Structure 1
């Protein structure tokens, strides 16, 4: 599983990254979690609001920071 956090590096983006790493551990799934801060790539994917959470190339959350438990739920359905 590939999980990407798209954003400019703001505090919300960092919090989403931290929540995602914690959720991956809590869910017990194998995943690569990476930050994407290249503006041209973010725009190229059609992201209108950051931070944005992508799982296996699909945008799952945009413009807000979900809780760890919410991310665990998303990972369970991924």
Structure 2
């Protein structure tokens, strides 16, 4: 199972990013674990300075804006 963390303060872009990830997983028919991280110390611990950030299985794969749908689908396949 893939584990995703959406890093951010709970802004609209963070919510949209989390929704994109959840929908892509549903469309791909795979089960994921999705966590929203709002603690700034934890976010900075990943080295993310611009949110939303996305962590996939412990590795930062995106930061600074809503990821494109193709990129999110790639995360499901990878």
CA distance in 2, matches of 1:21, 1:35: 12
Q: Within 5 Å, give how 1:1-78 maps onto structure 2.
A: 1-77=2-78
CA distance in 1, matches of 2:45, 2:67: 23
How many Å apart are 1:68 and its aligned residue? 3.4
Structure 2 unaligned segments of length 5 or more: list them.
none
Structure 1 unaligned segments of length 5 or more: list them.
none
Instruction: Write out per-residue CA displacement over residues 4-47 of structure 1, whole angstroms, 9 at most, x where no aligned residue.
Output: 10001111001001111101111222210110001110011111
**Paired residues, what number?**
77
SS of 2:50's partner is coil
CA distance in 1, matches of 2:37, 2:15: 11
**Greater than 6 Å deviation, 4+ residue runs:** none
Question: TM-score normalized by structure 2?
Answer: 0.89
